[in-house]
Structure 1
Amino acid sequence: MDASATRTEAAPTFRDAVPADVADLVALVESAYRGDASRAGWTTEADILEGQRTDPEGVRAIVDATDSTLLVVEREGRIIACCQLEHRGDSAYFGMFAVRPELQGAGLGKLIIAEAERRVRDAWGAGEMQMTVISAREELIAWYERRGYRRTGKTSPFPYGDERFGIPQRDDLEFELLVKAL
């Protein structure tokens, strides 16, 4: 029997990001959402947005904030995913979710979101998780709905003209609020 056929992946570990992680986290987020590299996964935004998804200043601000954390997911010492968790009173915000494109579709995302929900319940007593998703991302919204999130119909405008969030390739982008009771 081929030894590689029986090898199992090490379980991922979770920790809060530190300033030394910023460059690796920016690279991870960019690879999951922008450019040709992102097309290896299914969460790419390359067809609707060009340019950057984030930058070192934005990631550093999350890492340094007192009311949020950037949860780092590692396997065998290598960063493979991340997500932002922000304390907002009785609720928490979930954002900047990125999984290495070649690892998408294998169940890792489900594990990470479950850990994120557990952490905000236990650490902050959050009764609800909130997130915003570009409403044109129907496949991604459907994935979140299968995880128990519901569409609220509440939208907010996409920040057209602010290239820190990317360069839109269409004029109908907006964010929709999704929520889940914890």
Structure 2
Amino acid sequence: MSTTELTFRAATKDDIPGLVELVESAYRGEASRVGWTTEADLLDGQRTDPEGVAAVVGDPNSLLLIAERDGVLIACCHLEHRGDHAYFGMFAVRPALQGGGLGKVMLAEAERTARATWGVREMHMTVIRQRDELIAYYERRGYTRTGKMSPFPYGDERFGVPRRDDLEFELLTKAIAAA
């Protein structure tokens, strides 16, 4: 995939409805099963909502990075400055475009943006530990499993309705300092 086809920019409040739709389509419901990043077997309910996306867009320590092709929103991710590192989350690629290299390009742009914007040398993310295929994807891109777990927010439906009772997050990290 050529990056010349893509435009990257920070999201604005006008992007919120499209971002909610994109994230939901990549993670929840039957439509998400077109791609490989679905969480539909683990979680029901919502992945995000307009209020949550608006909070990220309005946070001065955050950047919601979007990728567009011909003016159409096709991928996004959230970057949050946390002192010596950036946190990476809310990563979504249109399900029909998954598996073609767009995610790899988006992740590389997120790492470049975090370095350039905040001067951080490390990226952190949390991934549901039961998502072996997704964790393997990040490992192929240089992320390391730390073994540090954090609980899933059971009872808070803003994060979805769990379909099982053993969900937890694992912290993955990667050094992103310029070579």
Determine if the TM-score, normalized by the shorter chain, exceeds 0.5: yes
Contact 2:44 2:163 in 1 (8 A): yes
Contact 2:3 2:105 in 1 (8 A): no
Give the secondary structure class of the aligned counterpart of 2:18: helix
Match for residue 71 of structure 2 among 70, 77, 89:
77
Q: 8-17 or 157-166, which moves further after superposition?
A: 8-17
Return the letter of the residue paired with 1:96. Answer: M
**TM-score by structure 2 length?**
0.96
Percent identical pairs in the alignment equals: 70
Higher CA-based Rg: 1
Q: Aligned residue pairs: how many?
A: 175
What's the CA shift for 1:12?
A: 1.0
* 5+ residue gaps, structure 2: none
> Which string of whole-angstrom CA distances, capped at 9 and with x for unpartnered residues, describes residues 35-71 of structure 1?
0000000000000000000000000000000000100
Match for residue 105 of structure 2 among 90, 97, 111:
111
Match for residue 39 of structure 1 among 30, 33, 44:
33
Partner of 2:145: 151
Match for residue 132 of structure 1 among 126, 132, 137:
126
Contact 1:81 1:98 in 2 (8 A): yes
Match for residue 58 of structure 1 among 46, 49, 52:
52
* 5+ residue gaps, structure 1: 1-7
Residues in 2 aligned to 1:9 and 1:145: alpha-carbon distance in whole angstroms: 22
Partner of 2:166: 172
Contact 2:47 2:160 in 1 (8 A): yes
Partner of 1:4: none
> Which string of whole-angstrom CA distances, capped at 9 and with x for unpartnered residues, describes residues 76-96 of structure 1?
000001000000111000000
Give the secondary structure class of the aligned counterpart of 2:5: coil
What's the CA shift for 1:10?
A: 6.4
Return the letter of the residue paired with 1:88. Answer: R
**TM-score by structure 1 length?**
0.94
Q: 25-34 or 117-126, which moves further after superposition?
A: 117-126
Residues in 2 aligned to 1:84 and 1:55: alpha-carbon distance in whole angstroms: 14
